[in-house]
């Protein structure tokens, strides 16, 4: 995994009846994962495939209308969904393996 890069998750989350896509980032050595859905509209952030960071690499960016999110929190600091947050996925680092979980509950509202 490249430093400070975004990676689509290798295995999509499969639950009976629907699929939710997410992405994992390495922000200065800290790992965070989010559902790949902008809070403005139901589009993935990476309209340009696998591009999740702004040009200055300080923020996650939705390439559809330019919303900017803080990498560590998923909080939107600028754009049409300012004040809302990405849906976070739990991340655990275990002896070099990075595990991304799925929150409990019905996520069908996030399905593609």
Binding site for ligand FES (CB under 6 A): 38, 40-41, 43, 62, 64-67, 79-80
* 38/100 with CB nearer ligand FES: 38
Evaluate the CA torsion angle 108, 74, 33, 9 in order and state its sign: positive
For residue 60, the minimal CB distance to ligand FES (Å) is 11
For residue 54, the minimal CB distance to ligand FES (Å) is 12
From first CA to last CA, the distance across the chain in angstroms is 26
Q: List Cα–Cα distances, 24 to 29, 32, 56, 80, 102, in angstroms.
A: 12, 6, 19, 23, 13
For residue 90, the minimal CB distance to ligand FES (Å) is 23
* 22/79 with CB nearer ligand FES: 79
* 51/64 with CB nearer ligand FES: 64
Per the listing, tokens 């754009």 go with 79
Evaluate the CA torsion angle 8, 69, 26, 98 in order and state its sign: negative
For residue 66, the minimal CB distance to ligand FES (Å) is 6
């Amino acid at each position: 995994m490249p430093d400070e890069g975004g990676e689509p998750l290798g295995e999509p989350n499969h639950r009976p009846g629907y699929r939710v896509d997410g992405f994992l980032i390495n922000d200065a050595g800290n790992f965070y994962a989010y559902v790949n859905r902008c809070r403005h509209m139901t589009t993935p952030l990476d309209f340009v495939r696998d591009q999740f960071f702004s040009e200055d690499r300080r923020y996650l960016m939705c390439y559809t209308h330019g919303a900017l999110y803080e990498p560590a929190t998923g909080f939107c600091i600028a754009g049409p969904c300012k004040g809302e947050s990405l849906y976070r996925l739990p991340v655990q680092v275990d002896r070099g393996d990075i595990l991304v979980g799925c929150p409990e509950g019905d996520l069908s509202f996030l399905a593609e």
